[in-house]
Amino acid sequence: MPATSIDYYETLGVSRTADGATIKSAYRKLAMQHHPDRNPGCNESEGKFKAISEAYDCLKDPQKRAAYDQYGHERYTQAASGGGGGRGHPGGDFADLGDIFETIFGGFAGGGGRQQARRGADLRYNLEVTLVEAFHGAERQITIETSQVCETCEGDGAEPGTGLRTCNLCKGVGQVRAQQGFFMVERTCPNCHGRGQVIEKPCHSCGGEGRVDKPTTLDITIPKGVDTGTRIRLSGKGEAGPFGSAPGDLYIFLRVKDHKVFERDGSNLVTEVPISFTTAALGGCISIPNLDGETVSIDIPAGIQSGKQLRRRGAGMPVLQARGRGDLIAEIVVETPTKLSKEQKAILEQFRETETGDECPNSKGFFDRLKDAFAG
């Protein structure tokens, strides 16, 4: 199967907008189904398990996932493997892939030394808020399942009372060297995973991972003026780092739900306001209840037409992390009456008899243009 026909999202059966919890849940379900221990001797299940693990390794990490979404499967996997698609010349795609490789995997290492402990993975959580919450700001509480430091071994991964020994593959360095194309690169030791030490006896609570999955409840502060796509970062609230290293961050991605009355346009609020044809002809005043609880009054000039927008400055949405507010925009819709009394009809008939055509210049101009078009 060509690399371009593979899609990590399809492999895990999730949408491209799925959050971290959904991706993890899908991975666990598929991993249990296709794990080699559950399907001994089945090459198909073994292949699927490898594909599932490869997809999850990418999508669980926000940085890798962002690179995958931006560059696509083929270029991402070329960068991950250190290859340049067979291109031996400098610059071009080969240089671009090197940049991706450096961004995602830390680049081409040299100089030796134990690898710095890798921090925990960042997490993504999608949160919907109402337009009213976006206007006033809000406090929300969410519950997510994250990896937390194991209380039994305190993140060490070793059964209490036992110890660690130096890794015999990397000799305690945490990295191994390998030839990759034109370069000699250093990669994380597959035996100790960069730690430089291996566990003699794994902790019975976490199985040697140093982390356990637990539900966590967090309080989220939604500032005034947020919009769809606004990102809130909670430092240190992501996955616990391996073996006691620093935790990752949690990113809250907001989506503001549609409102029944107002449509948002940046920091402006737009609403359609129906008015009677008499108000449109004679002028008047309209009152609009706003999201702040106040009533906004807007004068209607005589002769206004449908589609005309009237603006009240400073009555729109708060501007995020700044002072001031956008505008409230009332889009006028002139409503033609459908039920008239005999008296009203008589009055309108009298009005029609007095019309000269100058009352509605657009209509007169339209029919004049029609006459000219057919006359010519």
**Numbered residues of the known binding site for Zn(2+):** 150, 153, 167, 170, 189, 192, 203, 206
| Axis crossing angle, helix 62-81 with helix 92-105, rounded to the nearest 10 | 130
Q: Which residues contact 368 (CB under 8 A, 6 or more apart)?
A: none
How many other C-beta atoms are found inside a 10 Å radius of the C-beta of residue 286?
16
Binding site feature residues:
150, 153, 167, 170, 189, 192, 203, 206
Closest CA to 190 of 164, 170, 220, 215: 170
**185, β-bridge pairs:** 178
Report the alpha-carbon distance of residue 67 to residue 201 in Å, rounded.
37
- Cβ count within 10 A of residue 209: 19
Q: Is 270 left (phi over 0), alpha (psi -120 to 50) or beta?
A: beta
Q: Is 174 left (phi over 0), alpha (psi -120 to 50) or beta?
A: left
